[in-house]
Structure 1
């Protein structure tokens, strides 16, 4: 019998298939608990979970479920188990079988750059979609300079992008002290002699130098002065800061998402911060232009990804459609954002300590700390 060839697909290639809506049948061979916690999702993705140990003695349980004619992708945590299963499926006569190179670890770390818009002063704004984690970061380009907001720790991917654009990094900014992922902002700024910015109220325990984000203190990118206006917007953390870029785009950090709102409990102070969160969402943001396009720091569901993967929404529309912006009773709002919240992010305390500079885990430890979905929102369920 002729053995069909097994191919490998990179996280980038799989992301392109997902974002383009291509049909894909996935067999995830991780254990049931890991699969239930976090998986590859997409509008045209069909996925089943059969643990690896159920397939060691034969792949018939998988063969019985594979639709005819569909490409098959086998996925595991790191790669090895998926290669074994993919080869067995191909040996059984199935064609168009592949495995995810680097496993779900590589899926967690891939960043897809999506152009948001050309800016009126001649620059560009990009959103970097970390599709496997739900994290979003932003790059502003103008006149040979760049600023990165809410940088993920995979700084090499930003470096490749900046080099392709021929620009110099002048600023990195974190909208708040992150608890779900390790920031690459400080490392990137140190490497290129750039300025790292952080809200002062979130930086009480940090061990390194940073430039304070202050309301009304503009951050200039490029000779044409593409201005970034900080708006102090506490709630998710006490220092959470959002920005307006080009008078058109509201970078809301983890305060406001497209289908949900930020949770206030990741520093153990939900009862203290819930009032700040409501004030920000129901007053500060409410007084902004309804035509602003919200660009958040996370997404919770694949349905929040629009054309080419862009995650965005008009502020006025969010006030009509987002459940977290339509809780009129203050007591009900307080209950919603302090009770029955999703599980807290994996290793979030260690991630916060890393982002403060208190601990310095190695690369593999950082990967393990970040594995799994982000859980920064209230209404993700």
Structure 2
């Protein structure tokens, strides 16, 4: 879509491909400084600067000498309007190859990019849905025309469309824990497609809706080819956190273990109570599992965790070698690491928890506002 001679619109999907393909891009972010410092677009070859919109109301001159020649330029704001205005000023000043982000950072926050992680032994597949702007990850386990969703995000229409395009029936939606950084779409999706919604019972003591108990020792089967999803109780991020072993190949760790960090235990106000559980899960429970399991977390914190095509995964044995959170031998030091000097808590995390319990029912727009910003579920995501 073209709005002027040299001004073009860029979609969140197009921006995602630039990030994942590690292409060059110069971003002028015109949000206010505090919003920019809280959360911005990042990529391996992306250069980003912040000049607030109010400094550019009288023209783009303050920005022109900072924009390099010969680079694709993207102007970004919260919702779109301000960035389009500034981008037009830059074009009028004679610059070319200038874009504004359609839907602004709200659109960036909500875009989901599906990537195939791999095949299952009996002909099935597992897909990862990368919410690149917020660092959230959902999974679809597929076998013989059936599917199970894990840690379903709020944008359930994406999963419905994917299932329809691939002639899949979603039979199960599973949350590994009660989320505090984003609003779960698991129950909503289950209601829409007639699936069973699973939640760890120790995280469900305050929920006001019916659910099926995600208990260790209970296998959930997907398809006729018996692709088992085996729950493994793994507390620490929450008291009910439960990991999933899929097809004896993949370990879906929820928010307990990430690629470059570990989960934080404080989002329910129970850091001192849960730090022992966290250490036991990471240093004992997971140690009993096969080193060859492929770890698939519910979040990533940094673009460095994105692999080929945007995939986020690692072999469990390799994480025990490289992940700093798995190599703190002294228990007192571990306790300090996960309870002190933590990054800020996610935006509106208390209201998000209340929403995921079913206690409050915010509107769609209120849900978008609640989720603005990074996920901040890891100890080291600062």
TM-score normalised by structure 1 residue count: 0.98
Give the equivalent residue in structure 2 for 1:228: 229
- For 1:95 and 1:160, locate their aligned partners in 2 and report how far apart those are by CA, in whole Å: 36
- For 1:358 and 1:123, locate their aligned partners in 2 and report how far apart those are by CA, in whole Å: 37
- For 2:336 and 2:328, locate their aligned partners in 1 and report how far apart those are by CA, in whole Å: 10
Mapping of residues 165-314 of structure 1, within 5 Å? 165-314=166-315
Would the aligned equivalents of 1:293 and 1:312 in 2 still touch at CA under 8 Å?
Answer: yes
Would the aligned equivalents of 1:199 and 1:214 in 2 still touch at CA under 8 Å?
Answer: yes
Q: CA deviation at 1:18?
A: 0.7
Give the equivalent residue in structure 2 for 1:139: 140
- For 1:17 and 1:333, locate their aligned partners in 2 and report how far apart those are by CA, in whole Å: 38
Give the equivalent residue in structure 1 for 2:333: 332
Deviations 1:222-250 (A, max 9, x none): 11111111000000000000011111111
Number of residue-to-residue matches in the alignment: 379
Partner SS for 2:288: coil
- For 1:14 and 1:348, locate their aligned partners in 2 and report how far apart those are by CA, in whole Å: 27
Would the aligned equivalents of 1:110 and 1:132 in 2 still touch at CA under 8 Å?
Answer: yes
Would the aligned equivalents of 1:4 and 1:91 in 2 still touch at CA under 8 Å?
Answer: no
Gaps of 5+ in 2: none
Would the aligned equivalents of 1:4 and 1:94 in 2 still touch at CA under 8 Å?
Answer: no
Give the equivalent residue in structure 1 for 2:342: 341
Q: CA deviation at 1:320?
A: 1.0
Deviations 1:121-180 (A, max 9, x none): 101100000000000010011111111000010011111111111111100000000000
Q: CA deviation at 1:40?
A: 0.5
Give the equivalent residue in structure 1 for 2:41: 40
Give the equivalent residue in structure 1 for 2:80: 79
Would the aligned equivalents of 1:206 and 1:356 in 2 still touch at CA under 8 Å?
Answer: yes
- For 2:70 and 2:164, locate their aligned partners in 1 and report how far apart those are by CA, in whole Å: 41
Deviations 1:263-291 (A, max 9, x none): 00111111110000000000000111111
Give the equivalent residue in structure 2 for 1:92: 93
Q: CA deviation at 1:342?
A: 0.6
Mapping of residues 20-31 of structure 1, within 5 Å? 20-31=21-32
Partner SS for 2:274: helix
Partner SS for 1:41: coil
Give the equivalent residue in structure 2 for 1:368: 369
2:9 is the counterpart of 1:5: no
Would the aligned equivalents of 1:254 and 1:298 in 2 still touch at CA under 8 Å?
Answer: yes
Give the equivalent residue in structure 2 for 1:58: 59
Root mean square deviation of aligned Cα: 0.8
Partner SS for 2:154: coil
- For 2:215 and 2:208, locate their aligned partners in 1 and report how far apart those are by CA, in whole Å: 20
Q: CA deviation at 1:335?
A: 1.0
TM-score normalised by structure 2 residue count: 0.98
- For 2:190 and 2:36, locate their aligned partners in 1 and report how far apart those are by CA, in whole Å: 36
- For 2:249 and 2:119, locate their aligned partners in 1 and report how far apart those are by CA, in whole Å: 11
2:124 is the counterpart of 1:126: no
Q: CA deviation at 1:5?
A: 2.5
Deviations 1:61-102 (A, max 9, x none): 211111111111000000000000011111111111110000
2:369 is the counterpart of 1:357: no
- For 1:30 and 1:163, locate their aligned partners in 2 and report how far apart those are by CA, in whole Å: 38
- For 2:7 and 2:256, locate their aligned partners in 1 and report how far apart those are by CA, in whole Å: 44
- For 1:73 and 1:166, locate their aligned partners in 2 and report how far apart those are by CA, in whole Å: 37
Deviations 1:10-62 (A, max 9, x none): 11111011101111110000011100110000011111111001111110121
Q: CA deviation at 1:4?
A: 3.2
Partner SS for 2:198: strand
Would the aligned equivalents of 1:324 and 1:379 in 2 still touch at CA under 8 Å?
Answer: no
Partner SS for 1:285: helix
- For 2:119 and 2:274, locate their aligned partners in 1 and report how far apart those are by CA, in whole Å: 36
